[in-house]
Chain A
Amino acid sequence: MAQPAGPAAACRAQGAGRQPYSNGPVQNQMMHSSDAQGYNPAVPGSYSHQKVPPHQPSGQYNYSGSPNVSQFNSYQGPGQTLNRPPVAPLSGSPVQQTGPVPQVPPPALQNSAAISSAGSFPPGAGPPMLSNWQYSQSALSHPAGTPTSHLAHGMGTGSAQPSPSLSGNTNPPGSYQYAASPGGPSLQNSYMKPGSVPPPVTQPLTPLHPPRPPLGPPPVGGPPLIRPSTLTAGPPNAQPLLNSAANQEGDATSAASDGSAVQNSYDAIEGGGLMATPHPSPAPPNLKMNRNVGYSYPALPPGYQNTSPPGAPGMQASALQYPDGSKHFHQPPLGTNHLTASMGSLSLQQEGLRPVNLLQERNILPTTILQAPVPNLHEDIQKLNCNPELFRCTLTNIPQTQALLNKAKLPLGLLLHPFKDLSQLPVVTSSTIVRCRSCRTYINPFVSFLDQRRWKCNLCYRVNDVPEEFMYNPVTRVYGEPHKRPEVQNATIEFMAPSEYMLRPPQPPVYLFVFDVSHNAIETGYLNTVCKTLLDNLDLLPGNTRTKIGFITFDSTIHFYSLQEGLSQPQMLIVSDIEDVFIPMPENLLVNLNENKELIQDLLRTLPQMFTKSLETQSALGPALQAAFKLMSPTGGRISVFQTQLPSVGMGALKSREEPNQRATAKEIHLTPSTDFYKKLALDCSGQQVAVDLFLLSGQYSDLASLGCISRYSAGSVYYYQSYHHKHNPVQVEKLQKELKRYLTRKIGFEAVMRIRCTKGLSIHTFHGNFFVRSTDLLSLPNVNPDAGYAVQMSVEESLTDMQVVSFQSALLYTSSKGERRIRVHTMCLPVVTTLSDVYAGADVQAITGLLANMAVDRSVSATLSDARDALVNAVIDSLSAYRSSVLSIQQPGLMAPSSLRLFPLYVLALLKQKAFQTGTNARLDERIFTMCQVKNQPLVYLMLMTHPSLYRVDNLTDEGALNINDRTIPQPPILQLSVEKLSRDGAYLMDAGSVMFLWIGKSCGQSFISQVLGVPNYGSIPQNMTHLPELETAESIRTIAFISWLREQRPFFPILYIIKDDSPLKSSFLQNMIEDRTESALSYYEFLLHIQQQVNK
């Protein structure tokens, strides 16, 4: 009967299954983007069947509580396993193919079984049930020799994230700790899922590289498919499986999910097809779905639920659809311009190539935030691709040869934000982490499976064996589906690393604070703020019971604080020999935070008053850092240094190099460090896994160029508060408070290394960011924090002929603050193209700008600032003239640019006007260098905001087109061009420049706005230094505040809002960001375009 049709039907089934599944990867995307917003635990059931369209913008997701629709339905899933025993690879036949007849009894069976089990395991009763976990049973259900895995899913990583949005999670983390459950004697793998399991079933894995043997060619495993004997083999195994499945259900937040019957059928379709492995159990996806319900993206494509009839009919229906599915499967989609399926993105890319005459198009700036271009890949692959916020390439179409890349005159590089806070991150615990044997690439969604037991690395093309453990999929609890493992379904994944990945046992988190207490420092009053913030956040420091903390203060001598247990108050030890620093006592300088909390709090309370009478003006920063390094070197950790002036004594003393009169001339400014002391010390620190974060709060020149090295090479971060003073500059105080809070509480990874691998033929030649490149591609990061971004430049070493796609993988190995060794892996896949026009079509203008900015910083340090500026301008000229001469067939007058690069001149002009690269007298040297540090260390999103701020008109906000998040209405005003011409006196404008916001109030701004939003009677009474909007009960106020706080929520730091009037001193900073206008030393946008046109047409 069904036998001859078996394999084919199976693959068709798979194909057919794909359609509805298109939601899966979308969820994947959401997984990343839903960070911090759009969590709505308060609206349970709000994504009932019809509601959520599969493509909602991330912000709108309501992660609702479990809808709990019908438990019994959901149990049909497990029930079906009756028919399909998990002896998958050996035997097994998808029941639905044998005709509808055998299907009838199973549902009944399962239902009854499910009822009983459901009765005993009520939903939500997770923890108590742990003991009921029948791991042995689940082991039974697998053929001997199958490694059993178990699935733990909880807040594994979530708990490490401070993100409050996670609180929406209705499940106490405890309820998921299956990993710790005593039940599983046979456990080898456990799969942990924080929050949710991105449905692995959703993406039928298709062969990535058509030329190579396709991924899971249905015929390969075909024969076993059609063994009728399985039917008889099935039942004995089924009961245990059912049980365990039911158990699992119980553990999930909600015991049931809506429309589960539908899932079953759909699952059956899916399972029957791929890899020609009979899908032994349709239950798992169902389970998984249920699990998702709690707090994750909506697991089910609701549209799908409605379209498919439930239960057995669904199977039949899908069985009917088999025929059209098969083509899909056989014709593995991929690469560029292949299939009709990629037509969508193709046309999108064509749009990127549309020539735009920049001189004629006045309004090229989009009114919404510019999105990253979508690589021209088949949608199934694209759905699996890494989120552009984490991993971005300057050219989404990779040129095949270096010659082509040179012709395009665009930089090729990657921009990474690898440690970004993610609200959904799959975590895998497994005894073996599957990696390529020759290049050590982690298995990822873009590898191809030659057959069941072998996979081909997508970076070096070596064929590897699939380890036995990997054959078992802990998510679906199915054997023989390596391609459905979470590792192969998620481009971003975290592994719990076994002990091979440790050089030494994970060290406790150690935090050392080094405070400048010279007279100058005490004058600024920073110590009060810092100690108070630290006191408030002491319990929030990421760590565990082993967390250690210590303090050092210094002026011309170094003061240590013994926090020995039993002391009534902290004991200060002064070391005045700064030439040869030593540690005065071997222990008790770094003490356990929890055990000595009172003493530490005591110290923090008294510290600000201790030095108020100090007259010492010298600063021995160098020796203090040496002391700190010595103290930290056995364990590694984080040193936070607060410095307020130029270090003047001891090692590392510096001399003032700034000459204010020469600021105007671009040459002879000191961007290079004056000594290698800090660099050497930083490298020593890096070697001992110590990172140094520098907080510079200074009024005068402090030679950040030299001091910054200490953070730059030890992978720390630099904060700069110009002219910090507790009385004279209250705004900076607030900024310090907010940023320090974030700094103290954000996630941290210790002893980290990062490796970026790319497909053979590409090579990375330059790295940008704060780290030390220890060997060719190994970045040493003593600390890694979620606010750091990195960039690399690449070249095409060998021509990428015969390659349809290339892949990039970044792997970050770190010790979490909880003492776990983890590996976070991101993989991105991009198509290779052969023509120049395709290269231009796929250019990502923001990424290019970001990379150019990084390169320009290097250039200004190694050569001169004016060289860097010229290089930036030349980058625009070269690329546009290459486009003009090589791509444009008809020579038109004007300045032509491909649509993908239409913002390129604008962004480069913005870079030229940015503090880091501007000429003119208004940038102080330290400020300029700080901006350069930021360019190097910030993720692209914030770098772009910093470079080209967004301008909104806010006095006439309406609810039209507004976003709705958590019952809040967030107006979405259009982004305006940065030109004074767009400002009008009777309006109020908000400029969002990333780390700072300006609210400019026009002179004749509407009275209603002034009184109802600002809460003052008239324009004249707006206070000079206003930084807060009062929360008023008016619609305008609510809208404005909603909008501003929405903007703020999107970033980890806290942008200060300055409210400025015409006569405010800050007006110049506001106007300076008006990039399209002319300033005393820089061209206007139009003039700049004319200049470029002149050069291009030469």
Chain B
Amino acid sequence: MESVVFIFALIDCCALIFLAVYFIITLSDLECDYINARSCCSKLNKWVIPEVIGHAVVTVLMLISLHWFIFLLNLPIATWNIYRFIMVPSGNMGVFDPTEIHNRGQLKSHMKEAMIKLGFHLLCFFMYLYSMILALIND
């Protein structure tokens, strides 16, 4: 059972890693002027909800399967994701707003955020991998 949980977590984590990389690539495209703000933001906003859900699922899964440490590790990032999603002002077009993204260094902070997430997911990836192998051996 435990191995199934971790296999799922591993797959989910892979998806999140890809997503983080995609965010970074798209944002740096914007930074380098390869795409315009409008298309960049509509691309990214599409993936905000899948990201929130993907991460929330792992977090909840860890809570259910009583892996406290991993749950607590995931909690802050998951909370941040949800908070960020909820706190979008009514007039904005999503977490990434094309009219704001070039202002007040928002692009940079989005980039930083995506980098941190990438690092975090990589860490998680190896943790799940280790736990999965451990679980498989135990089985």
* A713 B99 Cβ-Cβ under 8 A: yes
CB neighbours (8 Å) of B101 from chain A are 773
Within 8 A of B (CB), among A633-682: 672-676, 679-680
State A683–B93 Cα separation when bound (angstroms). Answer: 11
State A296–B30 Cα separation when bound (angstroms). Answer: 46
Within 8 A of A (CB), among B1-47: 30-31, 33, 36-38
CB neighbours (8 Å) of A672 from chain B are 89-91
CB neighbours (8 Å) of B99 from chain A are 679, 683, 713, 772-773
B102 interfacial contact with A, CB 8 Å = yes
* B91 A673 Cβ-Cβ under 8 A: yes
Q: Which of B33, B38, B91, B98 is A674 in contact with, Cβ under 8 Å?
A: B91
Most chain B CB neighbours (cut-off 10 Å) among A705, A765, A766, A775: A775
* A773 B37 Cβ-Cβ under 8 A: yes
Within 8 A of A (CB), among B65-104: 89-93, 98-99, 101-104
* B91 A767 Cβ-Cβ under 8 A: no
Interface string of B101-116 (1 = CB under 8 A from A): 1111100000000000
Known: A709-B91, A765-B104, A767-B102. 16 other contacts (CB 8 A): A672-B91, A673-B91, A674-B91, A676-B92, A679-B99, A680-B93, A706-B91, A765-B103, A766-B103, A766-B104, A772-B37, A775-B37, A776-B30, A776-B33, A776-B102, A858-B104
Q: Which of B36, B91, B92 is A775 in contact with, Cβ under 8 Å?
A: B36
Identity of the chain B residue whose Cβ is nearest the Cβ of A772 in the assembled complex: B99
24 A-B pairs, CB-CB below 8 angstroms? A673-B90, A675-B90, A675-B91, A676-B92, A676-B93, A679-B91, A679-B99, A683-B98, A706-B91, A765-B104, A765-B105, A766-B104, A766-B105, A772-B37, A772-B99, A773-B103, A774-B36, A774-B38, A775-B30, A775-B36, A775-B37, A776-B30, A776-B33, A778-B33
CB neighbours (8 Å) of B105 from chain A are 765-766
CB neighbours (8 Å) of B98 from chain A are 683, 772
State A794–B99 Cα separation when bound (angstroms). Answer: 18
CB neighbours (8 Å) of B38 from chain A are 683, 687, 774
* B90 A676 Cβ-Cβ under 8 A: yes
Residues in A lying within 8 Å of B, measured CB to CB: 672-676, 679-680, 683, 687, 705-706, 709, 713, 765-767, 772-776, 778, 858, 862
Identity of the chain A residue whose Cβ is nearest the Cβ of B90 in the assembled complex: A674
Knowing A683-B38, A687-B38, the reply to whether A773 touches B102 (Cβ < 8 A) is: yes
State A446–B91 Cα separation when bound (angstroms). Answer: 43
Majority SS at the chain A contact face: mixed
Chain A nearest CB, measured from B31 CB (Å):
7
CB neighbours (8 Å) of B91 from chain A are 672-676, 679, 705-706, 709
Knowing A674-B91, A676-B90, A683-B98, the reply to whether A776 touches B31 (Cβ < 8 A) is: yes
Chain B nearest CB, measured from A237 CB (Å):
49
How many residues on chain B are close to A (CB under 8 Å)?
A: 18
Most chain B CB neighbours (cut-off 10 Å) among A676, A705, A709, A862: A676
* A774 B37 Cβ-Cβ under 8 A: yes
State A766–B99 Cα separation when bound (angstroms). Answer: 11
Chain B nearest CB, measured from A668 CB (Å):
14
CB neighbours (8 Å) of A687 from chain B are 38
State A775–B38 Cα separation when bound (angstroms). Answer: 9
Residues in B lying within 8 Å of A, measured CB to CB: 30-31, 33, 36-38, 89-93, 98-99, 101-105
Chain A nearest CB, measured from B93 CB (Å):
5
Identity of the chain A residue whose Cβ is nearest the Cβ of B94 in the assembled complex: A676
Chain B nearest CB, measured from A353 CB (Å):
31
Identity of the chain A residue whose Cβ is nearest the Cβ of B31 in the assembled complex: A776
State A797–B102 Cα separation when bound (angstroms). Answer: 16
CB neighbours (8 Å) of A680 from chain B are 93
CB neighbours (8 Å) of B104 from chain A are 765-766, 858
State A879–B101 Cα separation when bound (angstroms). Answer: 29
State A680–B91 Cα separation when bound (angstroms). Answer: 10
Chain A nearest CB, measured from B101 CB (Å):
8
CB neighbours (8 Å) of B33 from chain A are 775-776, 778
State A280–B48 Cα separation when bound (angstroms). Answer: 68
Chain B nearest CB, measured from A865 CB (Å):
15
State A709–B91 Cα separation when bound (angstroms). Answer: 9
State A775–B104 Cα separation when bound (angstroms). Answer: 14
State A773–B103 Cα separation when bound (angstroms). Answer: 9
State A642–B114 Cα separation when bound (angstroms). Answer: 44
Chain B nearest CB, measured from A681 CB (Å):
11
State A713–B91 Cα separation when bound (angstroms). Answer: 13
CB neighbours (8 Å) of A706 from chain B are 91
CB neighbours (8 Å) of A765 from chain B are 103-105
Chain A nearest CB, measured from B75 CB (Å):
27
State A683–B36 Cα separation when bound (angstroms). Answer: 12
CB neighbours (8 Å) of A713 from chain B are 99
State A145–B37 Cα separation when bound (angstroms). Answer: 46
Chain A nearest CB, measured from B22 CB (Å):
19
State A375–B93 Cα separation when bound (angstroms). Answer: 42
Nearest 7 pairs of A and B residues by beta carbon: A673-B91, A773-B102, A775-B33, A766-B103, A774-B36, A676-B93, A672-B89
CB neighbours (8 Å) of A776 from chain B are 30-31, 33, 102
Chain A nearest CB, measured from B100 CB (Å):
9
State A952–B99 Cα separation when bound (angstroms). Answer: 42
State A687–B38 Cα separation when bound (angstroms). Answer: 9
CB neighbours (8 Å) of A766 from chain B are 103-105
State A673–B91 Cα separation when bound (angstroms). Answer: 5
Chain B nearest CB, measured from A172 CB (Å):
45
Most chain A CB neighbours (cut-off 10 Å) among B36, B38, B91: B91
State A709–B100 Cα separation when bound (angstroms). Answer: 13
State A772–B93 Cα separation when bound (angstroms). Answer: 14
State A1020–B30 Cα separation when bound (angstroms). Answer: 67
State A673–B89 Cα separation when bound (angstroms). Answer: 8
* B103 A679 Cβ-Cβ under 8 A: no
Most chain B CB neighbours (cut-off 10 Å) among A687, A765, A778: A765
Chain A nearest CB, measured from B59 CB (Å):
29
State A679–B103 Cα separation when bound (angstroms). Answer: 16
State A766–B108 Cα separation when bound (angstroms). Answer: 12
State A325–B33 Cα separation when bound (angstroms). Answer: 49
Chain A nearest CB, measured from B111 CB (Å):
13
Identity of the chain A residue whose Cβ is nearest the Cβ of B102 in the assembled complex: A773
CB neighbours (8 Å) of B92 from chain A are 676, 679
Knowing A675-B90, A772-B98, the reply to whether A767 touches B103 (Cβ < 8 A) is: yes
Identity of the chain B residue whose Cβ is nearest the Cβ of A713 in the assembled complex: B99
State A705–B93 Cα separation when bound (angstroms). Answer: 15
Chain B nearest CB, measured from A291 CB (Å):
42
Chain B nearest CB, measured from A727 CB (Å):
36
Chain B nearest CB, measured from A782 CB (Å):
14
Chain B nearest CB, measured from A434 CB (Å):
23
Chain B nearest CB, measured from A691 CB (Å):
15
State A731–B130 Cα separation when bound (angstroms). Answer: 78
Chain B nearest CB, measured from A569 CB (Å):
42
State A773–B99 Cα separation when bound (angstroms). Answer: 7
State A776–B111 Cα separation when bound (angstroms). Answer: 14
Identity of the chain A residue whose Cβ is nearest the Cβ of B40 in the assembled complex: A775
CB neighbours (8 Å) of B102 from chain A are 767, 773, 775-776
State A776–B30 Cα separation when bound (angstroms). Answer: 8
CB neighbours (8 Å) of A675 from chain B are 90-91
State A17–B21 Cα separation when bound (angstroms). Answer: 63
Identity of the chain B residue whose Cβ is nearest the Cβ of A773 in the assembled complex: B102
State A60–B36 Cα separation when bound (angstroms). Answer: 48
Identity of the chain B residue whose Cβ is nearest the Cβ of A763 in the assembled complex: B105
Chain A nearest CB, measured from B108 CB (Å):
9
State A679–B98 Cα separation when bound (angstroms). Answer: 10
CB neighbours (8 Å) of A858 from chain B are 103-104
CB neighbours (8 Å) of B31 from chain A are 776
State A858–B90 Cα separation when bound (angstroms). Answer: 16
Identity of the chain B residue whose Cβ is nearest the Cβ of A676 in the assembled complex: B93
Chain A nearest CB, measured from B1 CB (Å):
45
Chain B nearest CB, measured from A857 CB (Å):
12
State A766–B33 Cα separation when bound (angstroms). Answer: 16
Identity of the chain A residue whose Cβ is nearest the Cβ of B33 in the assembled complex: A775
State A146–B49 Cα separation when bound (angstroms). Answer: 64
